[in-house]
A and B are shown apart, each in its own frame.
Chain A
Amino acid sequence: MTAAHKVKITYCAECGYEPQTLDLARALMHEFGARLSSIELIPWEGGTFEVSVDGQLVHSMARNGGFPDHATIKDAVRARFSG
């Protein structure tokens, strides 16, 4: 049975991070198509931009600084496929 892989992007809504959120979501859609079971976008606050793959935090603006490279997130997703 194929495992369901989920990505969650939590972004600060009042900061206007929607473009970066949508760019990343679009990149993941194009790269992985139906191999991802869902991409959840969570509007939040406080300057947040966090990305988790299958519950594992792979990028946090507070921890890593800035927005993530799409390649980093794609690599994290690929690692889950092969894990």
Chain B
Amino acid sequence: MTIDRARFDQGLTYEAYKAQMTRNRERVEDNEQRIELGKEDVAAFRALPRPVKVLVLAEDWCGDVIANLPVLGRLAKDSGKLDVRIFLRDQNDDIMQRYLNKGQFKSIPVFVFFDEDFRELGHWIERPASVTEIRAKRRNEIFKTHPEFGSPDSPVDALPEEVRVRLQAELAKMREDTTKFANAEVVRELREIATRVAA
């Protein structure tokens, strides 16, 4: 299976993708508004010698898509240099099979960057490792600070409901507190791939 212009053009534009969303469009658009892009980052994308094509695998229900697709959407909008086409993962398994996370998992979003001749520049899957790492660390700290939450590896259903609700609030706050870092890491990694395009 190769990606060529004909296949790429079958994908949805970012706006068309959002228009067909039935579940989390509001969250995607809210994230899109809240992302703060650095001037230097936008300038780096604007300075790309030619537009870069970005094939995306996504689904409406996925939390990492809700968090990270809007970063790509904003980079495309603010730079005018990314031509984004989105494919629904579960309807495009041939593409998914080519970009499995660690060769086994159908993690999304997947962003595949191509030059104008559809030579792959690189691809990006799910979320930055640095984000997974910092959130795992913060999560462990929450459990250390709150012994009433039990062990981070224990099933949450064993917790009394009011404790569970407090844990949920702490985890939500931790995600919120790390969002700025997470977005910056996504931008940094996407910039590194996109700027591989030859001058």
By a beta-carbon cutoff of 8 Å, the part of chain A in contact with chain B is 8, 10, 14-16, 40, 42, 44-45, 48, 50, 52, 55, 57, 60
Contact = CB atoms under 8 A, between A and B. Distances in A.
Among B24, B62, B157, B158, chain A packs the most CB atoms within 10 A around the CB of B157
A31 B158 CA distance: 24
Contact of A10 (B59, B60, B155): B155
Interface string B45-78: 0000000000000011111001000000000000
A50 B155 contact: yes
Interface residues of B, number: 15
Contact of A60 (B59, B61, B63, B155): B155
A15 B155 contact: no
Contacts of A52: 155, 157-158
28 contacts: A8-B157, A10-B155, A10-B157, A14-B62, A14-B66, A15-B63, A16-B23, A16-B59, A16-B61, A16-B62, A40-B157, A42-B156, A42-B157, A42-B164, A44-B156, A44-B168, A45-B63, A45-B168, A45-B171, A50-B155, A50-B156, A50-B157, A52-B155, A52-B157, A52-B158, A55-B158, A57-B155, A60-B155
Interface of B: 23-24, 59-63, 66, 155-158, 164, 168, 171
Given A16-B23, A16-B61, A57-B155, 8 more contacts: A10-B155, A14-B61, A14-B63, A42-B157, A42-B164, A44-B156, A45-B63, A48-B156
